[in-house]
Amino acid sequence: MVASAQSHDMLQIAAAAADAKGGEDLVALDVSEPLPLVDIFLLVTGRSERNVAAIADEIEDKLLEAGHKRLRREGREESRWILIDFGDLVVHVFHEQERVYYGLERLWKDCPVVPITLPARATAEE
| Secondary structure element (H or E) that encloses residue 27, with its range | strand 24-30
Q: Is the pTM of this model over 0.85?
A: yes
Nearest to 102 by CA among 85, 120, 80, 86: 80
Q: Is residue 118 part of a domain?
A: no
pLDDT at residue 5, rounded to an integer:
85
Q: Is residue 124 part of a domain?
A: no
CATH of the domain at 103: 3.30.460.10
Q: For residue 106, what are the domain limits?
A: 5-112
Q: Does residue 14 belong to any structural domain of this protein? A: yes
List helix spans (H) across the chain: 5-20, 49-65, 96-102, 104-107
Report yes or no on 104 lying in a domain.
yes
Q: What digits encode the pLDDT tens for the residues 28-41? A: 999 999 988 899 99
Please count the structural domains in the chain.
Answer: 1
26 within domain boundaries: yes
Assigned domain for 120 exists = no
* Residue 119 falls inside a structural domain: no
Angle at 85 between CA 13 and CA 61, to 5 degrees: 45
pLDDT of residue 119: 79
